[in-house]
Every structure is written in structure tokens, then in C-alpha cells.
């Protein structure tokens, strides 16, 4: 089995595909065995064509295509389901996450106890608009107070986690924003690691502050309910 799968969900990111793939291969070749799994969420531009053409040049690349647009969480989950890696690294497809941080997360994992199953990127110096940074700080504060997940930046797209631990989590739309709380609910520990963050080089954001807020209120209530209703016990085989 492959040691690492880098999963990247994309929707209408044709100009960001090749630069990001080249950065991923530059960061990981010669350091670890890996594959790159791109999940095209039924893009309306020629993102899929760019990815298909890249497969002939990049042997590590695999491409998954949604026949209907299904959203980022579903794209991430389908990429992870298709992945062959023991560990998963996720990146946003807009190029704002830096693939050079993946080896840093791997090094932190190698120096950590097995009880930590998620290493979450922490954008300490965000390169977003002022309104987006303000909305994110407010959302993180509310989420942290309600879920007590002790994670300063759950919205950061770059994460490293064990595939088996992820596949044991409950699935719902937008779950990718609550991975730290869900991992802790399952009995695992989470560590936040400072990472680089960059301005978007091409394309436009697929989100705005208003639709994030509307979805977030419902999601927070649902995740809080899951945490309250969770039950774990130690087992032994006789």
C-alpha cells in the first residue's frame, strides 16, 4: 500500500491545476512514496481536460470525476475512499495551501505518539481579504466555544491524517470543516501545526461569508449533537 495519498478537490480551477501538481511532486519526490488524487467536482470549465492531459506526464496522478456537482466534503471523501495511502494529506485546489508544508506535517507525525491521528494546518498569517479573515476569526471563536475542539483554524485545507481513522468518522456535507472535533469524538488526539498561506493566484473563490454562515449554524448544532450522543468503550477479544 502507498504510504501517502495527497487528495485535492477542485471545481473550476483549470489555471491552478498544473502549478499545484508540480509543487506537490517537487515537495515529495525522493522523500516518500506517494500518489496524487484529484477529484473534479463536475467542473464547468476545462479543469477535467487539463487533469486528463497531465496524467500522461505525471505518473503519480490519479483523477476522479464527479458526474454531478456534489460539494467539497463529498469530493474529499470520495478521494479518500479511492486513495491507496495509509495516510492522507489534503490541499485546497486553489493553490493557497503550500505543498512544501506536507513534509513538515509528516515530520511532526513521525515525532508524535500514535494517539495523534490528525495534524491540522494553522494559517497564522492569512493572505485573504480583511472581511474573510474577520468572518473566519468569529466563526472559529464560536465553534471553539461550542465544540471545545481546541483547534485555532479548522478551515485550513492542508491536513494530514490516518485514512483508517477518517473512514471511521460519520459522514455529512461540510464535514471537512469539523475534522478536529470529529477525530476527538472518536477518541483520537489532534495537533495544530503552523503552515504557510498564500494569496489565490488565479480563479475566484467558490464561497462567500454569508453562505458559509448560514450552513455553519446548522452544522455546528449537528456536530454538537453528535458529540453529546457519542459513546466509546474499551474492548477485548476472548
Query: Residue 25 in contact with residue 59, Cβ under 8 Å?
Result: no
- 102 pLDDT above the threshold of 90: yes
Mean pLDDT, rounded, of the chain: 89
Query: Residue 123 in contact with residue 92, Cβ under 8 Å?
Result: no
The whole-angstrom separation of Cα 66 and Cα 98 is: 25
Flag the least confident range among 165-169, 190-194, 208-212, 217-221. 208-212
pTM of the model: 0.87
Instruction: Report, as an integer, the average pLDDT of 91-102.
Output: 97
Given this model, what pLDDT does residue 225 score? 82
Cell of 1: 500500500
Structural domains of the chain, with CATH: 2-228 (3.90.550.10)
Query: Residue 23 in contact with residue 49, Cβ under 8 Å?
Result: no
Query: Residue 125 in contact with residue 40, Cβ under 8 Å?
Result: no
End-to-end CA separation in angstroms for the chain: 30
The whole-angstrom separation of Cα 75 and Cα 166 is: 14
Given this model, what pLDDT does residue 232 score? 80
- 108 pLDDT above the threshold of 90: yes
Instruction: Give the model confidence (pLDDT) of 28-78 as tens digits.
Output: 999 999 999 999 999 999 999 999 999 999 999 999 999 999 999 999 999
Instruction: Give the model confidence (pLDDT) of 135-187 as tens digits.
Output: 566 666 666 666 777 788 888 999 999 999 999 999 998 899 899 999 999 99
The whole-angstrom separation of Cα 68 and Cα 41 is: 7
% of the chain residues with pLDDT over 70: 87
Residue with cell 480551477: 13
Show Cβ contacts of residue 233 under 8 Å, excluding neighbours closer than 6 positions: none
Given this model, what pLDDT does residue 234 score? 78
Greatest CA span in the chain, whole angstroms? 58
Given this model, what pLDDT does residue 155 score? 85
Residue with cell 467558490: 206
226: number of Cβ within 10 Å: 17
Packing angle, helices 14-28 and 102-110, rounded to 10: 40
**157 exposed, middle or buried (CB, 10 Å; 0-12, 13-18, 19+)?**
buried
The whole-angstrom separation of Cα 121 and Cα 51 is: 26
Amino acid at each position: 500500500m502507498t504510504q501517502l495519498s495527497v487528495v485535492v478537490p477542485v471545481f473550476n480551477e483549470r489555471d491552478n491545476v498544473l502549478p499545484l501538481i508540480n509543487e506537490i511532486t517537487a515537495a515529495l519526490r525522493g522523500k516518500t512514496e506517494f500518489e496524487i488524487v484529484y477529484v473534479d467536482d463536475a467542473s464547468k470549465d476545462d479543469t477535467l481536460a487539463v487533469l486528463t492531459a497531465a496524467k500522461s506526464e505525471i505518473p503519480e496522478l490519479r483523477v476522479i470525476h464527479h458526474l454531478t456537482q456534489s460539494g467539497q466534503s463529498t469530493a474529499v471523501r470520495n478521494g479518500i475512499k479511492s486513495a491507496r495511502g495509509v495516510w492522507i494529506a489534503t490541499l485546497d485546489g486553489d493553490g493557497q495551501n503550500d505543498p512544501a508544508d506536507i513534509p513538515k506535517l509528516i515530520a511532526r507525525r513521525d515525532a508524535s505518539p500514535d494517539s495523534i491521528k490528525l495534524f491540522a494546518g494553522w494559517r497564522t498569517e492569512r493572505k485573504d481579504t480583511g472581511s474573510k479573515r474577520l468572518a473566519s476569526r468569529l466563526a472559529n471563536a464560536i465553534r471553539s466555544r461550542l465544540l471545545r475542539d481546541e483547534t485555532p483554524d479548522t478551515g485550513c485545507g492542508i491536513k494530514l491524517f490516518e485514512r483508517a481513522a477518517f473512514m471511521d468518522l460519520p459522514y455529512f456535507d461540510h464535514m471537512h470543516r469539523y475534522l478536529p472535533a470529529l477525530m476527538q469524538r472518536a477518541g483520537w488526539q489532534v495537533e495544530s501545526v503552523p503552515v504557510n498561506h498564500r494569496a489565490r493566484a488565479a480563479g475566484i473563490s467558490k464561497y462567500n461569508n454569508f453562505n458559509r454562515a448560514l450552513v455553519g449554524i446548522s452544522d455546528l448544532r449537528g456536530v454538537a449533537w453528535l458529540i453529546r450522543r457519542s459513546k466509546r468503550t474499551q474492548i477485548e477479544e476472548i
